[in-house]
Amino acid sequence: MRILHVLDHSIPMHSGYTFRTRSILRAQRECGWITSHVTGLKHTLAGPAEEEVDGLRFYRTQATGSLLERLPVASQWQVVRTLARRIEEVVERERPDMLHAHSPALNGLAALQVARRHGLPLVYECRAFWEDAAVDHGTSAEGGARYRLTRALESRVFRQADAVTTICEGLKSDIVARGIDAAKVTVIPNAVDPQAFAMDRPRDAALAASLGLEGRRVTGFIGSFYAYEGIPLLLDAMAALRSRHPDLALLLVGGGPQEALIKQRIRQLDLDDRVVFTGRVPHQEVQRYYSLVDIFAYPRLSMRLTDLVTPLKPLEAMAEGKLVVASDVGGHRELIRSGDNGVLFQSGSADALAGALDRLYSEPETWPALRAAGRSYVETERNWTASVARYRGVYGGLQ
């Protein structure tokens, strides 16, 4: 089976392409499927028109220099037009059996045009609703004109695609609520490669020393600093735990729009001696930082985005055998069975988060069972081999 993937920012960027896409493409290759991949103008990193990485062939859509590419609204339609032309060229060369377009809707719209002209089935994969992400980033207002247009375009692709996949039950429920047949929508959940993580990785003593974390218990957050992640809430919880757990430290690894606000909040709460802020670190170094953390905290705030979408980071922490404390938003509830493979707390409550951390740090005898259950969960339910196997039913039903 030959599959042409239509991607957005997932083409190799020298340091790698998105984790989910890379994992899917590798697993599909292991299934014996022949895949090729094309990206549109949304991928702005300069590079050759064709590139091979990890044994996978990628095709870029080159910018034309047209004025349309610089105009706010026209640029989006130019993305569709140029991408459709590039897909057409690649289809003629690769002769795929089907197209598999990945969100956002601009990719789906371009792929639809080509699929219909060539009589090819189209699978459309939705990983998040871009209109909701834009609300959190401050580039769109919920219910505004741009929000409604983006949602309408996405719904159009859902209706016209031959099959739809998505990453979690929350997104599937919203798609079905738009009038899409539930039988047409398949959940291909996020997962991890358990072999890439170590359950009993030794603590990196040299790194701990360089960060001033020797002899300290460490709560950690590794990821992007968006408002919906709720990191200020975690800082408030750390302040509340100061007297009860004087050896406790917080390790923040990453960066993003909330970085300045987070640093300001650290100063306001007088937490400079308790918070280690590393900034972004090279991907190949991340597991060294995982080794330093006892409990990972994910205090996501409740909103459409977090209630519908499951994150990947808690699964990585479980694969490393780490304890996981997370807010009870819908996306977390799909991953975490509180008291079994992690602990959930009331979203938006610093007191509830502090209480959950306090109980765990006060009851170390509960740690082995939680750690083992988390690792077992990713090994048996959330590994890429099991996840990608669900594509067999999707693709097979379209042949």
User: Are 204 and 180 in a shared domain?
Assistant: no
pLDDT at 267: 96
pLDDT at 26: 75
pLDDT at 74: 66
Q: How far is CA 117 from the centre of its chain?
A: 33
Amino acid at residue number 253: V
Instruction: Share the mean pLDDT of the chain.
Output: 89
pLDDT at 16: 40
User: Are 267 and 255 in a shared domain?
Assistant: yes
Q: How many domains does the chain have?
A: 2
Q: Which CATH number characterizes residue 306's domain?
A: 3.40.50.2000
pLDDT at 340: 96
User: Are 215 and 324 in a shared domain?
Assistant: yes
CA dihedral 138, 141, 142, 145 (to 10 degrees): -140
Tens-place pLDDT, residues 120-159: 999 999 988 877 776 666 666 677 777 788 889 999 999 9
User: Are 203 and 269 in a shared domain?
Assistant: yes
User: Are 230 and 342 in a shared domain?
Assistant: yes
pLDDT at 341: 96
Angle, alpha carbons 372-377-383 (nearest 5°): 130
Q: How many CB atoms lie within 10 A of CB 318?
A: 30
User: Are 204 and 351 in a shared domain?
Assistant: yes
pLDDT at 207: 97
pLDDT at 15: 38
pTM of the model: 0.84
Tens-place pLDDT, residues 178-226: 999 999 999 999 898 898 888 888 999 999 999 999 999 999 999 999 9
Confidence of residue 68 (pLDDT cuts 50, 70, 90): low
Average pLDDT score over residue span 267-271: 96
Q: Helices (DSSP H) in 161-257: which residue ranges?
A: 169-177, 205-210, 231-240
User: Are 184 and 238 in a shared domain?
Assistant: no
User: Are 169 and 72 in a shared domain?
Assistant: yes
Confidence of residue 104 (pLDDT cuts 50, 70, 90): confident
Tens-place pLDDT, residues 13-67: 433 446 677 777 777 777 788 888 888 877 766 678 888 877 778 888 887 777 6
Tell me which residue has tokens 């007191």.
351
pLDDT at 136: 64
Tens-place pLDDT, residues 287-327: 999 999 999 999 999 998 899 989 999 999 999 999 999 99
User: Are 170 and 221 in a shared domain?
Assistant: no
pLDDT at 17: 46
Q: CA 89 → CA 4, 61, 98, 121, distances in Å?
A: 12, 10, 15, 17
User: Are 36 and 93 in a shared domain?
Assistant: yes
Is the model's pLDDT at 268 over the cut of 80?
Answer: yes
User: Are 139 and 216 in a shared domain?
Assistant: no
User: Are 9 and 127 in a shared domain?
Assistant: yes
* Domain hosting residue 356, numbered range: 194-381
